[in-house]
Amino acid sequence: MLVFAGIAADLLVRGGALDVRFLVEAPSRSGRAGGIGPILVSTAAILAICIAVCAPLGVAAALLLSEWRGRGLAAGRVIGLSLDVLAGVPSIVFGLFGSAFFCRTLDLGFSLLSGGLTLACMALPLVARTAEAGFRAVPLEYRAGAAALGLSRAAVARHVTVPAAMPSILAGLALGIGRALAETAALLFTSGYVDRLPGSLWDSGRAMSVHVYDLAMNVPGGDPNAYRSAFVLIVMILAIQVALQGGLGAWARRRWHVA
């Protein structure tokens, strides 16, 4: 907590005070002046695409690994190995893959969609492995009791396993979102540098992490806005973590009556 508070305080002191105009205005003078309004919109769109893809795929992979891998299913072993390999791949490699596959092969070009799909590939191992640990922690008696009532395997997963493991699923999603929001290298090759407001998911857009990198490394005199943008970025990550672990966790407990 002290390290986090120290980093946040350093960014705030170096960047200066924040105001609403900084959050809604468009960048000007290559980012030296103006705000980060279009940057926030692009970041939110990329993150939404990432979550929409990696959350269902991660939970499905976790269910396969936890419920069927123990029965010797070859696909389960292949999926588990693939997730472990993906978790160790450097982000720059994901960026090159996204540029080659999403931008060129699928002809999506430099776009929010390409960036979001690339980040989904990066976040998928975290979501899947964390959810798998949660599914494996569900007591066997829960499954046995549901099976004794005549529930199918799919019904057991829907009504018993997933609700009981919801805290782990949310934790994995929070970790995946944190990695996606902080990613720079992969987005340089997929979503692009454009700092204007995107008109659609097929438009190029600049994410917050890319904006901070560009201001700090390529724009003389851009350090103050780089510090302000970095502070906003860590506040976004903190807010998402609190929302997932707090708000959605409480909703899940009320919805499925789990502890």
Per-residue model confidence (pLDDT) at position 152: 78
Check: pTM over 0.75? Answer yes or no.
yes
Residue 110 vs residues 30, 51, 208: alpha-carbon distances, Å: 20, 19, 16
Q: What is the mean pLDDT of residues 77-106?
A: 88
Q: Per residue in 47-89, pLDDT tens?
A: 999 999 999 999 988 888 887 665 556 777 788 888 888 888 8
Spatial separation of the C-alpha atoms in residues 182 and 176, rounded to whole Å: 10
Per-residue model confidence (pLDDT) at position 82: 85
Q: Is the dihedral of CA 145, 148, 149, 153 positive or negative?
A: positive
Residues 6 or more apart whose CB falls under 8 angstroms from that of 10 comprise: none
Domains and CATH numbers, the chain: 38-207 (1.10.3720.10)
Q: What angle do CA 234, 8, 4 make, to 5 degrees?
A: 85
Question: Does residue 149 carry a pLDDT above 90?
Answer: no
Closest by CA to 118, choosing from 41, 207, 38, 40, is: 207
Q: Per residue in 136-145, pLDDT tens?
A: 888 888 888 8
Phi-psi region of 111 (alpha: psi -120 to 50; beta: other; left: phi over 0): beta
Instruction: Write out the DSSP string of 156-183.
Output: HIIIIIHHHTHHHHHHHHHHHHHHHHH-
Question: Does residue 259 carry a pLDDT above 80?
Answer: no
Question: Does residue 101 carry a pLDDT above 90?
Answer: yes
Pairs from 223-227 (Cβ < 8 Å, separation ≥ 24): 223/14, 224/14, 224/15, 224/16, 225/15, 225/27, 225/31, 225/32, 225/33, 225/36, 226/15, 227/11, 227/12, 227/14, 227/15, 227/16
Residue 96: band (very low, low, confident or very high) from pLDDT cuts 50, 70, 90: very high
Per-residue model confidence (pLDDT) at position 153: 77
Q: Per residue in 107-138, pLDDT tens?
A: 998 999 999 999 999 999 989 988 888 888 88
Phi-psi region of 63 (alpha: psi -120 to 50; beta: other; left: phi over 0): alpha
Residue 102: band (very low, low, confident or very high) from pLDDT cuts 50, 70, 90: very high
Q: What is the mean pLDDT of residues 183-198?
A: 86
Q: What is the mean pLDDT of residues 5-34?
A: 85
Q: What is the mean pLDDT of residues 6-25?
A: 85
What percentage of the chain reaches a pLDDT higher than 70?
A: 93
User: For residues 235, 237, 241 and 243, what is the CA-based torsion angle, rounded to 10 degrees?
Assistant: 60
Spatial separation of the C-alpha atoms in residues 125 and 30, rounded to whole Å: 36
- Give first-to-last CA distance, the chain, whole Å: 27
Q: 155: which 2 tokens?
A: 């019904």
Contact indicator for 45, 198 with CB cutoff of 8 Å:
yes
What percentage of the chain reaches a pLDDT higher than 90?
A: 24
Question: Does residue 209 carry a pLDDT above 80?
Answer: yes
Spatial separation of the C-alpha atoms in residues 140 and 76, rounded to whole Å: 20
Q: What is the mean pLDDT of residues 83-111?
A: 90
